[in-house]
Amino acid sequence: MRDQFAFHYLSKNLDDVIKRVELADKHVFITGKLSGNSFYTFAEKLHNFAIVHATRETEVLRAVRKFYDELRRPYSHFVGFSDAVLFEIAKKLGMQTQSFETRATIDPADNL
């Protein structure tokens, strides 16, 4: 994800998607002699379709799940690391922690 969609846009990832663009759809482009831009909805559509296409899944729901599963792995590592750093900072500042268990339950609907 990071290397192909988040920070670096590789044109090869968009080639197949651009070929599938429906000509009947309305797309607006603004170009100049040395630069070009589009209204962002078109670029976002291409980007989203390219991500789905990159998963190699034929069903969109399965593609989205695969995409989020891939993102969840590094996210869980980052959360684990940041939690550990936070506790170390708290310890160095002399803060104390206390663990406890509770059997109390709450209905989230009661808080609406």
Residue 64 belongs to a domain: yes
* Residues whose CB falls within 8 Å of the CB of residue 36, separated by 6 or more in sequence, listed in order: 29, 30
Q: Is residue 110 part of a domain?
A: no
pLDDT of 39 over the 60 cut: no
Q: Are 47 and 5 in contact (CB under 8 A)?
A: yes
Confidence of residue 38 (pLDDT cuts 50, 70, 90): low
H or E element at residue 95:
none
Give this prediction's pTM.
0.43
Confidence of residue 81 (pLDDT cuts 50, 70, 90): very high
Structural domain boundaries, residue 72: 2-94
**Among the listed residues 56, 68, 51, the one whose alpha carbon sits nearest the alpha carbon of residue 14:** 51
Tell me how many domains the chain contains: 1
Is the pLDDT higher at 66 or at 97?
Answer: 66
